[in-house]
Structure 1
Amino acid sequence: MSTWEAYAIRYGRHDRPAQTNFLLPLDDPHEAMPLDYYIWLLRGPGGHEIVVDTGFDAELAAKRGRRLSRSVADSLRAMGTDPAKVRDVIVTHLHYDHAGSIDLFTGARIHIQDREMAFATGRHMCTACIRLPFEADHVVSMVRALFADKVQFHDGEGEVAPGVTVHRVGGHSDGLQVVRVQTARGPVVIASDALHFYANEKRGNPFPILFDLGAMTQGWRIARRLAGGDESAVIPGHDPEVRARFPAVPGQEGEVVALHLPPLR
C-alpha cells in the first residue's frame, strides 16, 4: 500500500463569534471562535503531489470580508510545490473557499463528485440562501475545465491514486466529498466541510450552512469509520485547533502542520 505525507496549509482567517459556527443556540454565543481557511497538500511515491481544495484569492477575500495570510500560490511555493506542476486537484465541494483558485492548476486533473457539479449548476441555485456560499465565476471555471477535458467525475467512492480515495458524504453541500489518505500512521481523513470544527461533532451541533442535516450528521460517522475509528485521524476543515494538535513544519511560521505525523496531543 502506498503511503503519503499530508499537510494542512492555512492561508486565511475570519474572526467571528462562536454562534456563527453552530446551528443550535449556545450558552455563550458571543465567545470568540475564529475560523481558519486551509488547503491540503499530499505527497506520495515518485513525487506525485495532490492538492485538496484551491482556496480563494485577495479579491474574493475583500468581497467577503475575510483575511488572507498569504495567497494559495505563495503558500504552495513556500512548500516547494509549483501549482502548474500539480498532477491532481481534489475539489471537495464548490463553495467559494474551496474552489476559488482552480485556474492556478493548469496541468492538473480535477476530481469532483457528479452530484456537486449537478448541484452547483441546477435548480437549487435559484434559491439565494443555498447559492450564497457559491461564486458563479468559480463554477464557470469548473465548466471550462470540463470542456478542456480536465475533470474526473466520481460517483460516491473513487480512487485518485493508490492510497488516496474520495467518498461522497453530502450534508453541507449535496456533493461534498471527504478524502482518505494512507499515511505512515494509518489512514487520515481530510473531512473538509463535513466537519468544520472538532466541536461540531463533539457537541452534536452542526455548522449552520447545510443542505441536508441528516447527511451532515451521518458524514461525521462516515469520516470516523474511514479513519478506522481514530478520532485524531479525522481532520476538520476550518478549526484553528488543527494547528495546535499536529507538528508544525519548520520554516512555515506555524501556517503548515504535518497530518501524517502522530498528533502532539
Structure 2
Amino acid sequence: MNYTTDHNKQKPDWQDPEVIVVRYGTRQTTKSECYYNFRAYREPDAEITMDYFFWIFRNADQTIVIDTGFSPEAAAARRRQPVVSPADALARLGIDPLEVKLLVLTHAHYDHAGNLGLYPNAKIVMSRREFEFWGADMGQRPQYAHHIDPLDIQRIQALHRDGRITLLDERRNTLIPGIELFEIGGHTPGQMAVVVEMPEGPVILASDAIHYYEELELDRPFAVLDSLADMYQGYEQIREWLQRPGAVVIPGHDPEVMNRFAPVDPSDPSFAVRIDASGAGV
C-alpha cells in the first residue's frame, strides 16, 4: 500500500461514514500526576478520572482501527481497570478483527499498542521515528521504558520483519483520501494525530497529543513527554485545525468525550460514542 504526501485536500466520496470512540478502560488519578510540573499552577491537587480509548473509522466500504488498547497483562501489572475487552467491543460493533485490513498506531505506549494479535490480516502504519526510537538505547532508559510494554515492542518489531508495518517518514501523510496522519511529537518522538474529513467538518483524533480538553484550553502540558517544546507546538497545530468549520477534537483520555457525542448504544452510554455524517454531538 502506498501513502502519499499530497497536501491538497481531497473531499472523500464516502457512504455512511462514522468515527467511533470506544472506551475500554478507566482509572482514578490526580492532576498532579497527570500534568507536568503541576505545582507551577499554584492550585490545590484534585482527583480526576482517566479513561482509555481506541478509535474506529468506518464507512460502507472499509473499517480502519486506530490504536489497539492495553493488553490484559499490562492492565493487571499497572492496576488499570478494563471495562470491556477490545475483542468484545469490536464484536458489539459488528466488526470482525479478521476482516480489518488497515490499522494505525499513533504511538507505541502500552495503552495504545497492545492486542495486535487480534488483527492478523491488517497492514499497520506508524511513524518511522516512533518505531526506531523504541528499538534504540534511549528508548530503554527507565523514564521512557516505563510507558511501554516490552512485549508490545517485540511484537511490533516482529511484524515489521514480516513486512506488515509501513513506516512513515514524512510529518504529514495521506492514509486514504480524506484521512491524514500528522506526526506531532511531544508526548513521544513520533506521536501522530489523525484528521478525518467528515462531511460536517474535520474530526481530529488527537490520540495523546492532548489527553484532556483542559490540557489544550489551559495550555497545560501532560506529565509524560519527550519534548516540552514539541508538545506546545502540537497544541498550536490542533488549535489551528479547530478554526476550520465544524471541527471537533477528541482527546486521548478525557471522560468528557463520552458526554459530548451521541452514544452508540443509548442503553449503555459509557461504552462508545459516534461522530457521523449528521455531526452527532450532544
Check conservation: 1:78, 1:252, Cα contact below 8 A.
no
Q: 1:179 and 2:199 equivalent?
A: no
Q: 1:236 and 2:251 equivalent?
A: yes
Alignment of 1:248-263 (within 5 A): 248-250=263-265, 253-254=268-269, 255-260=271-276, 261-262=278-279
Q: Distance in 1 between matches of 2:25 and 2:190?
A: 24
Q: Distance in 2 between matches of 1:229 and 1:216?
A: 21
Give the CA deviation at 1:57.
2.2
Aligned Cα RMSD in Å? 1.7
- Counterpart position of 1:17: 30
Give the CA deviation at 1:230.
5.8
Check conservation: 2:181, 2:192, Cα contact below 8 A.
yes
Alignment of 1:35-114 (within 5 A): 35-46=50-61, 48-114=62-128
Check conservation: 1:12, 1:36, Cα contact below 8 A.
yes
Q: Distance in 2 between matches of 1:32 and 1:168?
A: 31
- Helix, strand or coil at the partner of 1:191: strand
Please list every run of 5 or more consecutive structure 2 residues that lacks an aligned counterpart in the other structure: 1-10
Give the CA deviation at 1:163.
1.1
Q: 1:162 and 2:177 equivalent?
A: yes
- Counterpart position of 2:7: none
Q: Distance in 2 between matches of 1:20 and 1:91?
A: 25
Give the CA deviation at 1:84.
1.4
Which amino acid is 1:16 matched to?
Answer: T
Report the TM-score when normalising by structure 1: 0.94
Which residue among 142, 151, 176 is the counterpart of 1:137? Answer: 151
- Helix, strand or coil at the partner of 1:16: strand
Which amino acid is 2:238 matched to?
Answer: A
Which amino acid is 2:73 matched to?
Answer: E
Give the CA deviation at 1:239.
0.2
Which amino acid is 2:123 matched to?
Answer: R
Q: Identity of counterpart residues, as a percentage?
A: 30
Report the TM-score when normalising by structure 2: 0.89
Assess, with a 3 A threshold, how the Cα gap between structure 1 residues 171 and 121 changes in structure 2: closer, same or farther.
Answer: same
Give the CA deviation at 1:263.
5.5
